[in-house]
Amino acid sequence: MSNRRKHSTGSPFEKAAAYSRAVRQGPFVHVAGTTGYDYDAMQMPADVADQARNCFTTIAASLAALDASLADIVRVRYYVTKPEYFEAVAPVLAEHLGGIDPAATMIVCQLIRPEMLIEIEVTAQVA
């Protein structure tokens, strides 16, 4: 595990649940499920598309901290609390991952807090 690197956003969730926002092991960067909080203000927008944008801001910063970028993403999983959120978030997903086109799955489920409408996790592979 000597080449294992970790990144934290400082989110209280990371400390409470003992996890890293992202872990790099060799060429792979695994970014934990990321919700739409603005971690600087610890505020959550009410709109699912705005939450998705915040997810990508956090994900991009976490990837960059481990010498990767959105362009390196090979797998993404989206968790939404309602199926109808797809129409609202699809343009945001295309904005951030269009042309990268990673393998993707969208799951409808309940998240741990009612204000959380979307959670995104990614895996990147750095050449």
Q: How far apart are CA 116 and CA 110, in angstroms?
A: 9
Count of CB atoms situated within 10 Å of the CB of 119 = 22
Mean pLDDT of the chain: 95
**pLDDT tier, 40 (very low <50, low <70, confident <90, very high otherwise):** confident
| Beta strand pairing call for 73-80 and 103-108 | parallel
Query: For residue range 82-111, what is the model confidence (pLDDT) as tens digits?
Result: 999 999 999 999 999 999 999 999 999 999
